[in-house]
A and B are shown apart, each in its own frame.
Chain A
Amino acid sequence: MLRVRNLEAGYNKLRVLRGISIHVGAGEIVTVIGANGAGKSTFLNTVAGLLQPLSGEIEFDDQPLGRISPFNVVARGCALVPEGRLVFAPLSVAENLTLGAYHQYRRRRKALAEQQLERVYALFPVLRERRSQLAGTLSGGEQQMLAIGRALMAGPRLLMLDEPSMGLAPLIVKSILETIAGLRKDGVTILLVEQNSKAALGIADRGYVMETGSIVLEGTAEELLNNNEVQRAYLGKEYQSIAER
């Protein structure tokens, strides 16, 4: 579904991504893990069109995605839940969700958008309760749900999430990740970028490990969870406990 080849991108002449190749098959849950500053967010922003790639290819559904405007990427069916949630704080929850389906309304697919709204409310019932509340007044977890719900309103086939666990309590992280995993049955493919490697690998089929702008490791979630390097660097296991095994 998403195929990225030799992607290089960055800010001005500062190259952050140095030849990234990643593919995500339809119906998969794929995660990209890595430390802070590895280039994970840069990668997602480039796929979403917020940054222009310096070189390399991005294909979505066998169509090149590299040079189209960011607001058209959504219409193609590829939505990003940005880092830090970025809900429209002074707008109500319902307005936030409506705007998520902006391109559906623009194409006069009102019925589709309303159908989608029901699905989002079913997924996150708390959003229905708070639909007339201002988004800025929600708790962190609720804001994350709203951000995910807003992205889902666009009816994406690929949902990209940037650090959805950031700053949330472990219990809430668990419930949000479970919801994300459950989206698969609705035919949504997931590309999840996380610093919380354990939680991410817990729901993913496959994973990539990114370090200073390059992919250093890839494999199934199981392989990565059991990989010594990954355990040491990202799962917080101590040397000793790995060596003793």
Chain B
Amino acid sequence: MSSELIIQYILSGVTSGSVYAIVAIGFNIIYNTTGIINFAQGEFVMLGGMIAISLVPFMPLPMAVALAVVITAAVGALAQIAFIRWLKRPHVLQLIIITIGLSILLREAALHIWDEKVRSLPYFTGTVVTSVRIFGAYVSPQVFWVLGVCGAAVVLLSLFFGRTLIGQAMRACSADPLAATLCGINQKNMVTLSFVISAALGALAGCVVSPITQTHYECGTPLAIKGFTVAIVGGLGNSTGAVAAGLLLGIIEAFSISIMPMAYKDIIAISILLAVLSYRPTGLFVRREVGALKEF
């Protein structure tokens, strides 16, 4: 394998890996405030891409992306308010099934709004054929958009959760909802906010990656499975772990093409998921003692 090819693989792996990481962080945010896994996370990515694609003929690209993020965030908020917020002491199984139902509804809505065609956003800079030469390999500038946007999102999120009062309040809700309420924090608002943030995050990822991977009404579920794999491998709730695991999975997938048929590429992530869930459900990047506190 030539060094150019290796760089090519690594860059393409890092690109899809950073999208997985973003989806995983979306899982983490909602998991941290509610303890549930939002099975509709992948659909937020799909919706973001689809909405931006529909808006782009009418306005400049940045505005279309921004509006798509806002609309998807609103969809996330509405879904949470309509289906989850008013439930009194819901059971975990109940919440799982509701978010599964939600994912089907979003997917079917997308099918009826946009039909089955595969679409994509235009490249943010240049076109399909534009490429940048780096260490002898040719890559699309969109790769840097994906990396830049995902990197910025991770940094902004960690600032939000670490430095702002609302971010700290959300972490407090995840640590102890009862004590958070006693501090005067409206825990239900924080949960709704977590849906808003992770929907917005998913939508953003859906927009930047759309020119490369394209958007299709069914593209949410595979992304959700991979995002969940990454979230689990990185340790559920641990966003730094998610970034590491995301990049790792992306690179493994990219290299897998050279040794096995393309059609089986998607199986790798799931096999890793099953293996990690079976033998180390706390994730690879979390100390066992910390994981022991969680319930699987």
Residues of A near any B CB (own CB < 8 A): 48, 50, 69-72, 74-75, 79-80, 82, 86-91, 95, 98-100, 102-103, 105-106, 150-151, 154
Contact = CB atoms under 8 A, between A and B. Distances in A.
Interface string B152-174: 00000000000001001101100
Contacts of A100: 183
A102 B190 CA distance: 13
Interface residues of B, number: 17
Contacts, number: 69
A91 B183 CA distance: 14
Nearest to B165: A105
B183 A102 contact: yes
A82 B183 contact: no
B181 to A, nearest CB: 5
B184 A74 contact: yes
Q: Is the interface of B mostly helix, strand, loop or mixed?
A: helix
Given A71-B186, A86-B176, A88-B175, A99 B181 contact: no
B175 A102 contact: no
Contact of B180 (A80, A98, A99): A99
Contacts of A106: 165, 184
A50 B187 CA distance: 12
28 contacts: A50-B178, A69-B186, A70-B181, A71-B183, A71-B184, A72-B184, A75-B184, A79-B182, A82-B178, A86-B178, A87-B176, A87-B179, A88-B172, A88-B175, A88-B176, A89-B175, A90-B175, A91-B172, A91-B175, A95-B168, A95-B171, A95-B172, A98-B165, A99-B165, A102-B183, A102-B184, A151-B182, A154-B183
B257 to A, nearest CB: 40
A89 B175 CA distance: 7
Contacts of A99: 165, 168-169, 172, 180, 183, 185
Interface in B176-200: 176, 178-187
A71 B168 contact: no
Contacts of B169: 99, 102
A70 B182 contact: yes
Nearest to A160: B182
A114 B3 CA distance: 58
Contact of B183 (A50, A72, A74, A90): A74
Contacts of B168: 91, 95, 98-99
Contact of A103 (B172, B178, B180, B184): B184
A158 to B, nearest CB: 13
A69 B189 CA distance: 13
Given A88-B175, A98-B165, 9 more contacts: A50-B178, A71-B181, A71-B185, A74-B183, A86-B182, A95-B168, A99-B165, A99-B185, A105-B165
